[in-house]
Amino acid sequence: MTIDGQKVDFAPGETIYEVARRLDRDVPTLCYDPRLEPFGACRLCVVEIEGQARPVASCTTKATAGMVVRTVTDALEAHRRTLLELVISENRDSGDAFGAGTPAHVDPLRGASSQELSTLAARYRVRPGRHAGAHSGHSRRDDDNPFILRDYDLCISCYRCVRVCDEREGDHAIHVGGRGFESRILTEFEGHLADSSCTFCGQCVQTCPTGALADKKALRAVDLPGELTKTRTICPYCGVGCSVDIVTKGDRMVAVQPAFDGPANEGALCVKGQFAWDHVQHDERLRTPLVRGADGVQRPATWDEALDRAADGFRRAAAEHGAKAVYAIASGRAPHESAYTIQKFIRAGFGTNYIDNCSRA
Amino acid sequence: MAAPPATDRPSDAELVARWAGEPAPLLPLLHAFHERDGVLTDDAIRRVAAALRIPLAELYGTVTFYHFFEREQPGRARPRVCDGPVCRRRGSAELLAALGHHGAEPMPCAGRCDEPIPVLVGDQQLVGARDGELRDLPTPLPPKLSDDRLPGWRECVFRHIRTEGRAALAGYRATGGYAALFRAIAMAPAEIVDVIAQSGLAGRGGAGFPTGVKWRLVAEAEGGPKSIVCNADEGEPGCFKDRALMDHDPHAVLEGMAIAGRATGAARGIIYLRYEYPHTLRVLEKAIREAERDGLLGERILGSEFSFRIHVRRGAGAYICGEETSLLESLEGRRPWPRNKPPYPVTHGFEGLPTVVNNVETLASVPPILLEGADWYRGLGLGDHAGTKVVSVSGDVQRPGNYEVPIGLPLRTLLQDCAGGALPGRRIVAVTQAGLSGGFLAGADLDVTLDEPALRAKGSFLGAAGLIVFDDSRDMVAVAADGIEFFAHESCGKCFPCRIGTTRLTERLTGSDGPLDLDEWRSEVEDICATMKATSACGLGLAAPLIVESLLRSFPDDVRAHVEGPAIET
């Protein structure tokens, strides 16, 4: 087949969009998530095929031999701009968030994909106020769950949230209700997420291209000064080995985002990896070692004092009851470096394999 | 212990047991609870979700997609008053107000545009007048045309429909009914397909795909069981032909389906009937029972190896379910969004298996074609055009009704000689095509013949052939606004251009939003129309802009007055 004048081979079943992407063609989309079944809703990825009267959605059209495709023409670009202007026009906050067609004020803390719409709006120089009219989404501020903000005023009905919940998570917690302009994301009987089969994995948040679904915990840091930095690591909670980006602002950890290129998880995470990290910076976390006195009360101590005391205890236990009397369980909340160290300590120090990790459960 | 009191009210378990093992069980099961309770309760939705193993959020979302599933009192007893484009001009607003104390709500065009305003109360199909008086009136028969007026025309699907008793099996057989099925059973399946292909019969629901080609693709497709689905979801405003066919000639549809089954190797037929036709539902169910009793449907028909069963599934109020892949999704119990194509239903239809989806009129055409031959049918058209088309004419004419005309007939002949022309003292200024989907023709464009090539050359199309006529007393901006508002109401919400575009066009045509400067107004409207026509995912979004475009093209002065006129008082 030919794409934009370039001859290219394709695998059976490959879509035009997938082939174009392999060629680094930057075909815009909003409803596409490579992990999900092609859906064909946003129509931004339309391309022209020689001999066909109308453009086709490249995400849902399979490549065929001899096909001659154009991904960029004046007509296509004009349709894309109109589509983006229509989408922007349905957001209640469009006047502020997308003012003057400049990058939006959708805070990137909201989620990993939250900048997709504002990025495209800037790229296509959408004209503010064009196609103005009724707003389509209605935020569920009444849903007071601690993790997921349901800010549907920013929703553009791409249904990536519904599809990731169905196709990847298998939770089926949310679906689409109503129809047409009144289509809305809902749980059964329009209740709260906590009363549904939602597991708060946050996958809907991380695939949302507008920030309509947002990470409530991350948004606590919205007023914190400093740039966002992402540091790639592996989630320590279990043995799957999900790649995550720890998001920091200055010296504060502010969010966890799944890595879409993580080989083990391809952007997936569970509620623990996604949201359970408050212990890292918790006020009640110990800041010094504690040593128990003869009166049974724990008192702050120096590291030397505490390590000597621990070493004494381990030695005594091993001497009186044998090396197998010592058994270590590392915490899933501790970093991998600590987990490594404790197993080394047991294996080298006591010569046993009496070591485990709570994440193995 | 005393036995529980006997009651006619079936239990949840009885309803589930009745339907859970049937094909396409979701809609009938929901209807069963809806009919029993008057509303769909939370408990009923939970029960159905558990029985059919559908996630609760998905089922709840799907229930809210349809118009007629009531969640609150007065529930199904609530009168539903048609406020389609014709009824709006006959006083549907006054009728709604008159029935307001019963909790009346509007419903989109209910497919009875040749009569007083249709009103649905539960499963009663009534008609009403402005003053609120309701009556029970049978579906009108197609008007009989005198031979001198229309020399040389012959009808196909209507040729026996006016015969007394035709709707019952005895009457149907007395006028040649089921002879075509006998013949089909004696023929090789490929021969049947050949006859239909040679006849030139094409999809009469509007898409115009050659029926013989479709049947051949299904006959040759791998996998099974295959299905014949009859699309009886006649939702296009201004179209009421399928209702007339089914009410007065139901066996013709059943026979056509059975012949399609014989031709393609399908043993299962499903009629997807729109919710607004409860009387038709009873007619079809009775006809199926009659045919099964006489061995014309069911196992080993007429002692042959051929078996064919027909099930009726009732929709729940959604225009988009007339789109064949939405219809299939609806049958399969999912939210009825159109599917991405290809693949097409001929290979991936009902339950992902090869399926014929044909319109009522297409299927009713099959028995006469098989009896009279392909050449006979071809010859019914004018010029190079094959066959006939039933056209529903409504609005500002003397004799609204269904007319079966040769394809290629001049529009003006239909309006004048069949429908009797304009009302006294009036002049016809515009005629919609394809219900509302084809937009309207006006001025010199009214000099056109009724066939796809001629109409497409005018930027319109014949489609299901609903013609709504407007005379010089009508506000054409308001007509177009009603039209696009209907499409906005019925947009499924899947693809962006249709979901947002229909709403933005409605706002601009009703004047509730949009630029006040004419050039800016036109620029926005033209951009939206162009993008919808180029990028929408299904026929609804592709066709919806036509009514707006035709307004801009044919009534520019009205548009100017609308945009620049006095602001709407609020």
In terms of domains, do A267 and A141 share one?
yes
Could you tell me if residue B25 is inside a domain? no
DSSP B416: I
Residue A93 counted as domain residue: no
Give chain A's length. Answer: 361
Do residues A178 and A258 both lie within one domain? yes
H, E, C per residue of B343-358? CCCCCCCHHHCCEEEE
Whether residue B372 is found in the same domain as residue B406 = no
Q: Does B411 share its domain with B267?
A: no
Do B436 and B406 fall into the same domain?
Answer: yes
- Of A53, A72, A91, the one marking the end of a domain is A72
Order of strands across the sheet with B355-359? B309-314, B268-273, B227-232, B355-359
- pLDDT per residue over A129-165, tens digit each? 899 999 999 999 999 999 999 999 999 999 999 999 9
B394 is in which domain, residue-wise?
388-471
Q: Does the distance separating the beta carbons of A176 and B514 come in below 8 Å?
A: no
Residues A212 and A317 in one domain: no
Q: What share of chain A is helix, strand, coil (3-state, %, to 5)?
A: 35, 15, 50
B492 close to A (CB below 8 A): yes
User: Hey, what are B5's tokens?
Assistant: 């009191």
Separation of alpha carbons A30 and A210, rounded Å: 9
pLDDT of A82 > 90? The answer is: yes
**CATH code, domain with B428:** 3.10.20.600
- Tens digit of pLDDT per residue, chain B (570 long)? 444 555 689 999 999 999 999 999 999 999 999 999 999 999 999 999 999 999 999 999 999 999 999 999 999 999 999 999 999 999 999 999 999 999 999 999 999 999 889 999 999 999 998 888 999 999 999 998 776 666 678 999 999 999 999 999 999 999 999 999 999 999 999 999 999 999 999 999 999 999 999 999 999 999 999 999 999 999 999 999 999 999 999 999 999 999 999 999 999 999 999 999 999 999 999 999 999 999 999 999 989 999 999 999 999 999 999 999 999 999 999 999 999 999 999 999 999 999 999 999 999 999 999 999 999 999 999 999 999 999 999 999 999 999 999 999 999 999 999 999 999 999 999 999 999 999 999 999 999 999 999 999 999 999 999 999 999 999 999 999 999 999 999 999 999 999 999 999 999 999 999 999 999 999 999 999 999 999 999 999 999 999 999 999 999 999 999 999 865 544
Query: In the numeric block, which tokens belong to residue B512?
Result: 């509730």
Average pLDDT over residues A192-201: 97
How confident is the model at residue A236, as a pLDDT? Answer: 87
Phi and psi of B484, rounded to 5°? -70, -30
CATH assignment at residue A19:
3.10.20.740
Which residues of A are less than 8 Å from B62 in CB distance? 175
Same-domain status, A244 and A305:
no
Instruction: State mean pLDDT over A58-73.
Output: 97
**CATH number, domain containing residue A179:** 3.30.70.20
Who among B335, B342, B495 is closest to A43 (CB)?
Answer: B495
pLDDT of residue A343: 95
Distance CA B291, CA B260 (A): 16
Instruction: State residue A128's pLDDT score.
Output: 85
Task: Identify whether residues A131 and A272 lie together within a single domain.
Answer: yes
A142 part of a folded domain: yes
Tell me whether residue B570 is in a domain.
Answer: no
Question: Is residue B99 assigned to a domain?
Answer: yes
Q: What is the pTM of this model?
A: 0.94
Which residue range forms the structural domain that includes residue A132?
108-281
| Domain's final residue, options B378, B412, B432 | B378
Domain co-membership, B107 together with B250: no
Q: Is residue B9 part of a domain?
A: no
One domain, residues B208 and B340: yes
DSSP character string of B498-535: HHHHHHHHHHHHHTSSS-SSHHHHHHHHHHHHHHHHHH
User: How long, in residues, is chain B?
Assistant: 570
Q: Is residue B349 part of a domain?
A: yes
Read off the pLDDT of each residue in A335-345 and give the average, rounded to a whole number: 91
Contacts of B297 by beta carbon, 8 Å cutoff, 6+ apart: B254, B258, B288, B291, B308, B309, B310
Q: Do B61 and A177 touch (CB under 8 A)?
A: yes
Q: Does B365 map to a domain? A: yes
What pLDDT, on the 0 to 100 scale, is given for residue B352? 97
Instruction: Report CA torsion sign: B17, B21, B24, B26.
Output: positive
**How would you label A16-38 residue by residue, b for 16+ Cβ within 10 Å and e otherwise?**
bbbbbbeeebebbbbbbbebbeb
Number of domains in chain A: 3
Q: What residues does A56 pair with on adjacent strands?
A: A47
Contacting residues for A249 by C-beta, under 8 A, at least 6 apart:
A221, A224, A225, A226, A227, A228, A229
ipTM value, please give it. Answer: 0.95
Residue A173 domain-assigned (yes or no): yes
Residue B431 contacts residue B467 (beta carbons within 8 Å): yes
Q: Which of B340, B493, B536 sits opposite A183 (nearest CB)?
A: B493
Assign A8 to helix, strand or coil. coil
pLDDT above 70: residue A258:
yes
CATH code, domain carrying B505: 1.20.1440.230
Cα dihedral A220, A224, A227, A233 sign: negative
Number of domains in chain B: 5
Contacts of B494 (CB under 8 A, 6+ apart): A40, A41, B337, B338, B537
Which of A222, A252, A281 delimits the end of a domain? A281
* B550 and B401 in a common domain: no
Give the sign of the dihedral formed by CA B34, CA B40, CA B42, CA B48: positive
* Beta-strand pair A68-70/A2-3: parallel
A137 and A265 housed in the same domain: yes
CB atoms within 10 A of CB A298: 11
Together in a domain, A121 and A59: no
Residue of A134, A173, A178 with shortest CB distance to B57: A173
Judge if B412 and B340 occupy the same domain: no
Contact status of B316 with chain A (Cβ, < 8 Å): no
Q: Is A212 contained in some domain?
A: yes
Based on the fold, state whether residues A57 and A124 are members of the same structural domain. no
Is there a single domain that holds both residue B226 and residue B278? Answer: yes
Question: For residue A195, is it within any domain?
Answer: yes
Amino acid found at B66: Y
Q: Are residues A43 and A190 in the same domain?
A: no
Instruction: Outline where DSSP puts E strands in B233-307.
Output: 268-273
Do A137 and A201 belong to one domain?
yes
Question: Which DSSP string do the residues of A40-72 spell out, in sequence order?
Answer: --S-TTEEEETT-SS-EETTTSB--TT-EEES-
Q: Distances from the Cα of B536 to the Cαs of A126, B82, B135, B496, B533, in angstroms? A: 20, 28, 41, 8, 6
Q: Is the pLDDT of residue A95 over 50?
A: no
Residue whose entry in the numeric block shows the structure tokens 């990790």 = A357
Q: Using CA coordinates, name the residue in chain B closest to A180.
A: B493
Q: What are phi and psi for residue A320, nearest 5 degrees?
A: -80, -35
Which residues of chain B lie closer than 8 angstroms to A186, CB-CB? 57, 60-61, 64
- Whether residue A43 is contained in a domain is answered as yes
DSSP code, position B396: S
Contacts of B318 in chain A (CB under 8 A): 179
Any domain includes A102:
no
Mutate to test the interface with A, among B47, B52, B69, B535 (most CBs of A within 10 A): B535
Could you tell me if A217 and A68 lie in one domain? no
Same-domain pairing of A235 and A337: no
What integer pLDDT is reported at residue A334 of this predicted model? 85
Same domain, B511 and B368: no
Q: pLDDT at position B567, please?
A: 56
